């Protein structure tokens, strides 16, 4: 009888002939995430991943594993021989440990998954037999098949049986990098870090671009955004961070274009710069934190105008979400407090009193004719700074 950690995979189970690739990527990320914690062995067995380690390291290992995309549940398990007596002994031990932690447990249900169809007992037979033995052992417990206080899980695999009653929820999703690479336009607000998190959860490897207007905006504002990228890197691994000063661009727009179009034209320049950075670095798409109707530039017409300036895919995972839901995710991934720090960003510079909310592509193009767009974009990129965030 040995204790191990069981890791349940989510959508990877549906990948068919590509499954091995996804599992291998996931294992690499598990190993990278837990490299500062020594464990004995990591192995796969019939749809799950198991980690052998000293039980004292279980808590720190599971805390790390919760942030690995592609995992849905993490469980401390007892591994035993495929023998009904050994399984019973493990279930009794597990139940004792759970009752010591929570004496309010009064009902249970045994849930068996027999992956090894050659095992002598069927899943219902195992559940009934173990349930009966647990009832005989624990006088204060009853079976409740509909809404039990505790599930006793039994997995019968090819080489061993695994017993567990805790399933710690992870984020699910796909392993980082299995869905391509993208550039996140990250500001100091609440939305863009959440957008990056949501796309990373779908397997997208992230880089970030941040726009500032130094010295009109402070260095502390940029440090705030770097801190947000650092928090994202806890889930994604290291992030390449591009810092671009667009003050000269904003001055030109302010001088030569209608005031009400300041925000939307600035946004178009951000998209153009981001596209050039993405293409040069072989990134597949852009990601923004825009949510429809949330601010003046995020109307349907405004998004149409900004999209017209690039020919690369733009992902907006928050587009239909309410602010309260976005805030809840930000709180969960620990970016909310940092986002709420009161440091200004480039969007506050030359902010129009009455920004246009229904711009047309034709009108904005006409206004931009007064600008040397290519030179402004090139100068901004030539003077940008690049950091590695981890």
- Annotated binding-site residues for ATP read 185-186, 210-211, 267, 289, 298
Residues 178, 23 contacting (CB under 8 angstroms): no
Give the whole-angstrom CA distance, residue 371 versus residue 251.
11
Give the whole-angstrom CA distance, residue 190 versus residue 319.
14
The annotated binding site is made up of 185-186, 210-211, 267, 289, 298
Give the whole-angstrom CA distance, residue 241 versus residue 225.
10
For the chain, helix, strand, coil in percent to 5 are 45, 20, 35
Q: Which residue has the tokens 């035993």?
A: 80
Task: Report CA Rg, the chain.
Answer: 27
Secondary structure element (H or E) that encloses residue 94, with its range: helix 84-101
Backbone region of residue 172 per phi and psi (left: phi > 0; alpha: psi in -120 to 50; beta: other values): left
Give the residue among 60, 68, 62 at the shortest CA–CA distance from 23: 68
Beta bridge partners of 46: none
For residue 215, whether the previous peptide bond is cis, meaning omega lies within 30 degrees of 0, is yes
Residues 46, 119 contacting (CB under 8 angstroms): no
Give the whole-angstrom CA distance, residue 199 versus residue 110.
37
Sign of the Cα pseudo-torsion (302, 346, 228, 26, in order): positive
Sign of the Cα pseudo-torsion (39, 41, 44, 50, in order): negative
Give the whole-angstrom CA distance, residue 321 versus residue 365.
30
Secondary structure element (H or E) that encloses residue 138, with its range: none
Beta bridge partners of 361: none
């Amino acid at each position: 009888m040995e204790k191990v950690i069981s890791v349940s995979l989510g959508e990877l189970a549906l990948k068919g002939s590509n499954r091995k690739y996804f599992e291998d990527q996931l294992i690499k990320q598990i190993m990278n995430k837990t490299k500062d914690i020594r464990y004995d062995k990591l192995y796969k067995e019939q749809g799950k991943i198991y980690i052998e380690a000293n039980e004292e390291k279980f808590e720190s290992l599971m805390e790390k594993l919760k942030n690995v995309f592609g995992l849905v549940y993490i469980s401390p398990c007892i591994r035993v021989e495929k023998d009904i007596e050994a399984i019973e002994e493990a279930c009794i031990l597990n139940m004792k440990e759970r009752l010591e932690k929570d004496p309010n447990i009064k009902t249970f249900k045994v849930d068996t998954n027999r992956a090894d169809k050659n095992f002598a007992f069927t899943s219902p037979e195992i559940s009934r037999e173990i349930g009966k033995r647990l009832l005989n052992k624990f006088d204060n417990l009853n079976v409740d098949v509909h809404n039990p206080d505790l599930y006793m899980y039994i997995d019968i695999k090819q080489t061993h049986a695994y017993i567990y009653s805790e399933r710690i929820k992870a984020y699910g999703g796909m392993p980082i990098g299995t869905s391509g690479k993208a550039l996140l336009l990250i500001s100091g607000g609440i939305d863009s870090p959440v957008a990056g998190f949501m796309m990373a959860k779908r397997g997208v490897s992230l880089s970030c671009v941040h726009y500032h207007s130094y010295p009109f905006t402070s260095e502390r504002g940029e440090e705030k955004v770097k801190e947000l990228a650092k928090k994202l890197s806890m889930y994604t691994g290291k992030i390449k961070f591009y810092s671009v000063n667009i003050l000269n661009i904003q001055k030109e727009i302010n001088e030569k274009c209608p005031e009400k179009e300041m925000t939307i034209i600035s946004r178009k320049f951000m998209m153009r710069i981001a596209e050039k950075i993405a293409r040069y670095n072989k990134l597949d798409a852009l990601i923004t934190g825009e949510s429809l109707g949330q601010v003046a530039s995020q109307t349907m017409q405004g998004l149409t105008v900004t999209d017209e300036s690039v020919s690369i895919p733009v992902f907006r995972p928050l587009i239909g979400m309410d602010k309260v839901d976005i805030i809840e995710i930000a709180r969960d991934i620990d970016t909310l407090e940092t986002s709420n720090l009161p440091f200004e960003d480039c969007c506050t510079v030359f902010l129009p009193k009455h920004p246009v909310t229904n711009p047309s592509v034709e009108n904005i193009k006409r206004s931009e004719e007064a600008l040397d767009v290519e030179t402004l974009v090139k100068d901004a990129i030539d003077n940008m700074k690049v950091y590695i965030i981890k």
